Amino acid sequence: MKIGGIIAEYNPFHNGHMYQIECFREFYGVSHTVVAMSGNFVQRGGPAIVDKFTRAKMAIASGADLVIEIPSLYCTQTAEIFSRGGVSLLNSLGCVDLLCFGSENGDLKSIKNVAEIIIKEQAELDVLISSNIKNRDSFPVAREKAIRNILSRKNRCELDDGFFKESNTILGIEYVKELLRLNSTIEPVSIKRYGTSHNSTESFGNFCSASFIRKNIKKNDILGIMDFLPKSSQSLIGCYQDDGRKFLFDDDFFSDICIEIIRNKGRLSRFFDVGNGLENSIYKQVSSCLDFDEIVENLSSPIFTRNRIRRSLFNIFLGIEDKHIEICKQINSLPFVRVLGFNKRGTEILSRIKSKSDISVVTQIAKSLRYESKHNDMYRFLLDFDLMTSEIYYQKSFSNNRRLLKKGKIDFTTLISMM
């Protein structure tokens, strides 16, 4: 058995994701695939367009064997923190051999070089980054300049001008960095992204970005995206609203975000990534913007990127404070793994996990709350936050048919069984 791991969002699952899984099996001899996937809120800061159980079904039907949930506190954060959650989860399983990620250039050597610089030259890097930020660079730009400076002096490698502009490459760097930090035995491998770039608004053959798909769904052009989805995703997307569920977008939460900003006036800086004057700007904008996109546009600047603004606004809404992220940063081995879906090969991975690791495998939330979490504060801390954010998501998702919520909380009533 050779187990490959993937960290993903599948927002939603499309042909490019299926291509990655197929390449992983073909090129690296992987027999079983486990996916660590974000839950109902994702790394760009907002809600997933469809819920986590639906996305897990898409993945299992199209090549994944086991889908597990990255704890929510990690999911809506920077690439560094998101990667820490995903990598530490896979590493905690004790049985993953390879970690596969897509990148725009497939240049694993350069990705490793950059990751090693960040780990080994952290003190010098911090000084250079601080200096660049004082010159009014945003953090991503400040870090890029600092890394290029060190690489140049050490004659390590020449990087393309657009290397740090490629979002999958940035995540790849963070994945490798986290593997190094944990001294993990998991080997990283990279597959060159095929077709369009991460946020491209265009298609290439039967391939397009998840951003392209979400924009078309928002325009209610469901038929226009079907060629870019595997059959399982076509079916699940096509019938998603039949029982009253909604596709969710950032703007669905805009009024709620505004209320939380007003409610927390004078205390906004306690929320993660909402410091350095950003809190004042956010409060000034809250009453004059018509929608989520407008407040992001008005607040973005060379210092505060759009992605940071999005994440900051959702950190306020979800109540994610500096102290919560500091706790996450101290966790090297996660106390539990939440199962979202599996097939027959997935049961074999679960058996291997149980024989190789002491991590708690959660398939029934009620049972987990009754027993395991009572004896582990970190377990309860992470699980409680997962359940809270999930419940918020479903309040919006079922707002057109609230009768469905009478059946019980979705995390408790969804049956996790072999697909």
Q: Can you give the residue ranges of every domain in the chain?
A: 1-104+168-248+333-419, 115-165, 250-327
pLDDT at 124 over 80: yes
- Residue positions in the annotated binding site for ATP? 7-20, 102, 168, 193
pLDDT at 407: 80
pLDDT confidence of residue 319: 97
- pTM (two decimals): 0.94
Mean pLDDT of 349-368: 94
pLDDT of residue 136: 84
Percent of the chain with pLDDT over 70: 96
What's the CATH number for 1-104+168-248+333-419? Answer: 3.40.50.620
Looking at per-residue confidence, does 218 or 157 come out higher?
A: 218
What pLDDT score was predicted for residue 243? 76
pLDDT at 155 (0 to 100): 67
pLDDT digits (tens, 9 = 90+) for 82-103: 999 999 999 999 999 999 999 8
Q: What is the pLDDT of residue 200?
A: 54
Higher pLDDT residue, 166 or 362? Answer: 362
Taking the C-alpha atoms of residue 235 and residue 88, their distance in angstroms, rounded to an integer, is: 33
Model confidence at 302, in pLDDT bands (50, 70, 90)? Answer: confident
Q: What is the pLDDT of residue 164?
A: 87
The model's pLDDT over 170-208, given as tens digits with 9 standing for 90+, comes to: 999 999 999 999 999 999 999 987 755 555 566 678 899
Q: State the pLDDT at residue 269.
A: 96
Please enumerate, by residue number, every residue annotated as part of a binding site. 7-20, 102, 168, 193
Q: What percent of the chain has pLDDT over 90?
A: 73
**How large is the average pLDDT for residues 141-147?**
91
